[in-house]
Amino acid sequence: MTQGTASPEVLRRSHHLSTFAHQGAVYLYHDLYGYLLQMSPDLLAFLDQFESPQKASEVCTRYADAFDGQAPQQFVDIFYQHACLMEPDDDELAGIWPMIAFKGRWNVWRRHGDRVTIWTAWGDRPVKTIELDAAETKMWDAFDGENRLNELRAKHDAKKLSALVQRLAHSDVQAIKLSAFPQSMYAKRPAMAPRYLTSTMPYRAWKPGDPLETPTTDVGTEDYYKDVADADAQFDHQETTLSHLFREPHPALGGKTYGAALVDALATQGRLPAQRVRVLEIGAGLGYVARAVCEALQARGLEVSYTIQEIAPALAAAQRTRTAGLPVEVREGDALAAELPSDAFDLIIANEMVGDLPAEQHSRTDVGMEVDGSGEVDEAKLAALGRAGELVKDLGIPLFDAPEPFYLMTGALELVVRIARWLAPDGTAVVTEFGERSTWPKLSTHLDHPELSTHFGHLLQAATAKGLTGSIEFVMDVLEMDRTLEGLATTRSHFRALRAMCADAGVDLPKLGYTRELLAARLGDKLAMDQIGELRWDKIEDRLMGLVPHEFKALLVRKPGGN
């Protein structure tokens, strides 16, 4: 924020604003400073009134009743503080000089000699490169979050510096942000650092008048998966699973793959039969887990028959290719409608797929409870919910602590009921997903389709109601993962840009859970790690690529009744 709060009488809109939208939310990005403001379409329409200089008081009078009783003047002040509104004769570009340039988060760059090239790939926007010449590279190196542009102007060509700031701060690039205060001030007070300094804008450009997507609350992606066209792109760009990051032997798993580590864990826990093992995998993605599990079971001398139940034809095809030569049968169709024999599988795996199953959103009042958290479920109202109500009743799912509104994972509960039927006596099922033991499902909308976190307590309750015994574990613990190793942290946009940069140097960079050693091995002699950036390393348990591994849990259940 650059200016005081009392805004002048006549104002005009900045010429450096871009607007974006995602899932019904609208954002304003200041292309000179990097300010990022969440908006609503009516606020943007209000701001657009200042396209040419206007008396703020007159615009405010016209909009007096537009904002649910909020005074329009307060929005004028906020826009003024963020340099979105200014006095008509203000030289906008001059406003940058008292500011300090911070390097943005999730930049991708490569240094070659005295030059730097920056790669960007925000959201679905095309990959773009920004070549800095030697003088601009010196300026880039001077953007240290401490020196004001005024000071840098004394050492560098002012016109060139101004042009570079404009190029790099723009929402197309987002390589720098401008701040009124130095980084050192925030070092000890990180909570005081304004959010825009570390935020990025990966969403689609949108302008007032364009149609606005309505936020999705409807979860259940049968159609989404049926429509998956490019199987590999699905996992490499759209959506990554933990198992996908560990599909190759990994140091954090003692040199094993995810599938092999899972088999070792099941063996250690005495969950594998002695001679013959019948496996069912539900929703098998690209088939890496299937291949690794099948091979690891065979390596233990077991006779394996492996069935996959898969809804997406493109993924089923990938699974067949990946498991060619192994005793794997891929059945196509919805697991929630599949006819599979009862008591027929010694091991059932549903890895990171229950979050994709249908869920229903309800209000506490739908079932007779008070919104404020009190009251009891009204049986008649519960019954009126149909199948969802039946599942709650039959499985004994407690609703008293449901938030308002709440998601009921009907698909996942339905699947657990089916798993209980399909398991052979003494058989084990492993259901993994991101979620918590007792936190109600939360919707995440950062993917291109909405996904819910899983309430594992509900899954365990369903399993127990159907006669299984079991527990909820951290996936990392089940696999005996070395949580403390450091891995590469990325976002979707950052990894896309990094991958483009690597491709430019002749390096193929598949999406894997990179440690420093794994990445160095990939880069070989084509790219030196210290010449590329930004590479952020985090403890694997906290972040690996775009995932937070400690969020992944496993429901491990067994059907009693074996000998």
Ligand X SMILES: C[S@@+](CC[C@H](N)C(=O)[O-])C[C@H]1O[C@@H](n2cnc3c(N)ncnc32)[C@H](O)[C@@H]1O
Kindly list the residues in this chain that would bind ligand X in the complex (CB under 6 A): 222, 225, 239, 241, 243-244, 282-285, 289, 309-312, 315, 334-336, 351-353, 356-357
Could you list the beta-strand ranges (E) of 296-344.
Answer: 303-310, 328-332
What are the φ/ψ torsions at residue 464 (nearest 5 degrees)? -65, -40
∠ CA(189), CA(195), CA(198), 5° rounding?
90
Q: Closest approach of Cβ 285 to ligand X, in Å?
A: 3
Closer residue to ligand X, CB minimum distance, 244 or 278? 244
Closer residue to ligand X, CB minimum distance, 238 or 531? 238
Q: Which residues contact 392 (CB under 8 A, 6 or more apart)?
A: 367, 377, 382, 385, 399, 408
Q: Closest approach of Cβ 392 to ligand X, in Å?
A: 21
Q: Closest approach of Cβ 258 to ligand X, in Å?
A: 8
Task: Say how many residues make up the chain.
Answer: 563
Q: Closest approach of Cβ 277 to ligand X, in Å?
A: 19
What are the φ/ψ torsions at residue 5 (nearest 5 degrees)? -90, -25
State the helix-helix crossing angle for 258-268 and 288-299, rounded to 10 degrees: 40
Closer residue to ligand X, CB minimum distance, 366 or 451? 451
Rounded to whole angstroms, the maximal C-alpha distance in the chain is 87
Q: Closest approach of Cβ 6 to ligand X, in Å?
A: 53
State the helix-helix crossing angle for 134-142 and 158-169, rounded to 10 degrees: 70
Phi-psi region of 69 (alpha: psi -120 to 50; beta: other; left: phi over 0): left
Closer residue to ligand X, CB minimum distance, 31 or 352? 352
Q: Closest approach of Cβ 443 to ligand X, in Å?
A: 16
Closer residue to ligand X, CB minimum distance, 302 or 336? 336
Closer residue to ligand X, CB minimum distance, 176 or 547? 547
Under 8 Å between Cβ of 441 and 392 = no
Q: Closest approach of Cβ 39 to ligand X, in Å?
A: 33
What secondary structure letter does DSSP report for 545?
B
Closer residue to ligand X, CB minimum distance, 169 or 357? 357
Rounded CA-CA distance 462/415 in Å is 10
Closer residue to ligand X, CB minimum distance, 352 or 541? 352
Q: Is the peptide bond before 534 cis (omega within 30 degrees of 0)?
A: yes
Q: Closest approach of Cβ 235 to ligand X, in Å?
A: 6
334 to each of 227, 307, 353, 417, how far by Cα in Å? 13, 14, 12, 15
